[in-house]
Amino acid sequence: MKEMVYQASPEAVQTLHQIRESVHKCCQSCMNRIVRVQTMDGEVYEGMLMGMDHKHLYLSIAQGVDQRQFFPGGVFYPPASSVILPLVLYELLVISLLY
């Protein structure tokens, strides 16, 4: 038998589930739109919300310098040098629509 080092309390587990579900519902209306995301660690990312699952938000971000390309009507096309960044839903602090 191995010694347990940590076990989340049932209340913490329930809270994390509620946060994850809340963020997931909020992001559904932001799909394929430009957002700014801030994590609990203070990291800030801008890009197009490309997808979600029950654990992650997938953000298309430009590598290096801000290389966003906008066309008439505010349509965003990720640059060829973009990457998909998976972000953990319960670690997100702020999600803002940019365009």
**How far is 34 from 52, CA to CA, in rounded Å?**
14
Pure H helices in the chain: 10-28
Task: List, for residues 44-98, the tens digit of each pLDDT value.
Answer: 999 999 999 888 899 998 765 444 444 445 555 555 567 888 888 878 888 888 8
Tell me if 21 is assigned to some domain: no
- Token pair in block for residue 57: 């938000």
Tell me if 13 is assigned to some domain: no
For 76, phi and psi rounded to 5 degrees?
-105, 135
- Reduced DSSP (H G I as helix, E B as strand, rest coil) percent helix, strand, coil of the chain, to 5: 25, 40, 35
Which of 10-19, 35-44, 68-77 is least confident?
A: 68-77
Which of residues 70 and 16 earns the better pLDDT score? Answer: 16
**How far is 58 from 54, CA to CA, in rounded Å?**
11
Q: What is the CATH number of the domain that holds 63?
A: 2.30.30
Tell me if 82 is assigned to some domain: yes
Which domain covers residue 50, as residue numbers?
Answer: 31-97
Tell me if 83 is assigned to some domain: yes
1-19 per-residue burial string, b: 16 or more CB within 10 A, e: under 16: eeeeeeeeeeeeeeeeeee
